[in-house]
Amino acid sequence: MSRYGFIGMGNMAQALAAGFLKRGGLTADTLAAFAPNQEKLQKNAEKIGFTPRSSVQELVKNADIVIMACKPYQIEGVLSEIKPLLSGKALLSVAAGWDHARYRTYLDDSVRIQFIMPNTPAMVGEGVLMFESTNSLLPEERASVMELFSSVGVVEELPSHLMGIGGAVAGCGPAFIDLLMEAYADAGVKYGLPRDTAYRLVGQTVAGSARLMQQTGLHPGILKDQVCSPAGTTIRGCAALEENGFRSACIKSIDVIMDMKKSV
């Protein structure tokens, strides 16, 4: 089995590492990580179950597949330290903005590259893992990597020009859904629900509604219509959302992200 090594061990890397160990078949012998804060790294290693490395060079030397999981602004500096050691290895990157083409300007053709955009629900095995279709992994290697990442969620392949919007919808989306859940829980509390009860009701409602759409394959509009009785309470609530620009606000939340990406 290939040996994987994380460079960086933030929240997303911890989520992926935990999922790979619990559901992906990796062990402490096949999963290692390096992070500058060695004390924190050691604590995470004990909690999650991976092998900690004392330097980024040691990490890369002992890995077949390197996962770049540090902050995007740190990557150029990291590459300058490990570039020769990456020769002949596979590099997976979960750092926003670092796609196949960008890495190609820094690394030679011996390094096999795959850009992956994950989202935070991967922490509970319900993530979206977006794989850039442009890559240089070996076919069998890519199949194995995609199978591993599917242990923490649903794998979707996107062409390079759609990775940005995919990241905006699925990568930023959890924050928008969280905001929605908080707002409806606040409404529940306003009318007497205990706070913890409100969050349980809203959380399960969101989870159940998503699962219903996925499993039935029905358009969300159809599912909405099934809840809205003529002259009923739900359609009045839907009308209030429309009057206050709910759908427009959702679309604009993506517009501002895409506009920002264009300006970078």
pLDDT per position as a tens digit, 46-101: 999 999 999 999 999 999 999 999 999 999 999 999 999 999 999 999 998 899 99
The rounded distance, in Å, linking the Cα atoms of 126 and 155 is 10
Chain segment 246-258, per-residue pLDDT in tens: 999 999 999 999 9
What pLDDT is stored for residue 243 in this prediction? 97
Within the chain, which residue ranges are assigned CATH 3.40.50.720?
A: 4-163
The rounded distance, in Å, linking the Cα atoms of 242 and 190 is 22
Within the chain, which residue ranges are assigned CATH 1.10.3730.10?
A: 171-263
What pLDDT is stored for residue 264 in this prediction? 66
115, 132 contact by CB (below 8 A): yes
Q: How many CA atoms lie within 13 A of 11 on its CB side?
A: 7
Q: Which two tokens stand for residue 187?
A: 């409404």
What pLDDT is stored for residue 172 in this prediction? 94
Q: Which amino acid is at 47?
A: K
Which residues in the chain come in under a pLDDT of 50? none
Per CATH, which fold does 4-163 belong to?
Rossmann fold (3.40.50)
Q: What is the pTM of this model?
A: 0.91
Correct CATH for 171-263 of 1.10.3730.10, 3.30.365.10, 2.60.40.10, 2.30.29.30: 1.10.3730.10
